[in-house]
Amino acid sequence: MRLLLIANAVASSVTARRRVVIRKALAADHDLEVVETTHRGHATELAVDAAARGIDVIVVLAGDGTLNEAANGVAGTTTALAPLPGGSTNVYAQALGVPRDVVDAASVLLQSLETHNFTRVGVGALTPPGGASRRFLFHAGLGFDAAVIERVERFGQPLKRLAAHPAHVAAAFATWSRFDRRHPSFDIELGDGERIEGCFFAVVSKITPYTYLGERPIHVAPAAGLHTPLAVTAFTRLDALTLLGGSASAMASGRFLRRRRGVVHRHDVESLRVVGRRPFPHQVDGDFLGAIDALDVRHEPDALTLVTPTTIT
């Protein structure tokens, strides 16, 4: 097969030596091209070009942000996407069952390529008024959730790389202490006509888990999955008990989060519109996109081909 390996050397947690090992392994039985990203959005450009040239599989050795960019470049084409864990968390790769060790992950990928273990899946997509769509693989965060991501990005790449999980926890507490918890940021209008009013933040999930804390999954929307539409978890209150209790619950049985007053859960959602009461921050797959007044969100079924471990179909 014709493969393109996209690596993000700056953000990657993979050593140069391991990258060489992976390149040799992939090139042994396949026609391999290798390129490193140099700027934001570069992976999308590379993926668009690769799909146009008939590349069979784009292998992404990077974190979730670069993987998201590549997915935006190949969605709607027949070129497949294969994640290798190169970032600090690698949510999508872990959710697919890809091994956390990148060398083991490369071995599993080679097995999947040999057996042609490909699957077609849906993605989510955000569209601002008059703007271009941005697809997401595992979730989009609105309001408080995105404000936390913005604060993490202010820490800079070295801290994100060396202490990603503590940085997110610290950012969450710092953001909560300064966040306006009295005046909701937006309302949500679901495609079936239901309206969820007075939201401080929301997570639109395409798969579960929402993220990982180390090896521990955090399940916000257990009903979300590769082959299902979107799930919405909207918070109409932002007190300490809801935030801390909900976080603990998401790492355990989920009972508190499911039953907590002020937390609204909806699944099998095909579309929704987010209407801001004031500009609200938003992010996709952990990539902060700025503040906006409104968003249309939709499920795009059968949009992307994935190379998956042989246990996934």
* pTM, to two decimals: 0.93
Q: Which two tokens stand for residue 131?
A: 């703007």
Do residues 220 and 257 touch, judged by C-beta distance below 8 A?
yes
Q: Which CATH superfamily is domain 2-116 in?
A: Probable inorganic polyphosphate/atp-NAD kinase; domain 1 (3.40.50.10330)
Q: Within 10 A of 188 (CB to CB), how many other CB atoms are there?
A: 25
Q: Which CATH code fits 125-302?
A: 2.60.200.40
Ranges in the chain annotated CATH 2.60.200.40: 125-302
Q: What is the pLDDT along the chain (313 residues), one digit of tens a residue?
A: 999 999 987 766 778 888 899 999 999 999 999 999 999 999 999 999 999 999 999 999 999 999 999 999 999 999 999 999 998 899 999 999 999 999 999 999 999 999 999 999 999 999 999 999 999 999 999 999 999 999 888 766 555 554 566 777 788 878 888 888 899 999 999 999 999 999 999 999 999 999 998 889 999 999 999 999 999 999 999 998 998 899 899 989 899 999 999 999 999 999 999 999 999 999 999 999 999 999 999 999 999 999 999 776 5
| Contacts for 139 with CB less than 8 Å, ≥ 6 apart | 124, 203, 204, 205, 206, 207, 210, 211, 220, 284, 285
Q: Which two tokens stand for residue 174?
A: 């710092």
Q: What are residue 310's phi and psi, to 5 degrees?
A: -65, -15
Ranges in the chain annotated CATH 3.40.50.10330: 2-116
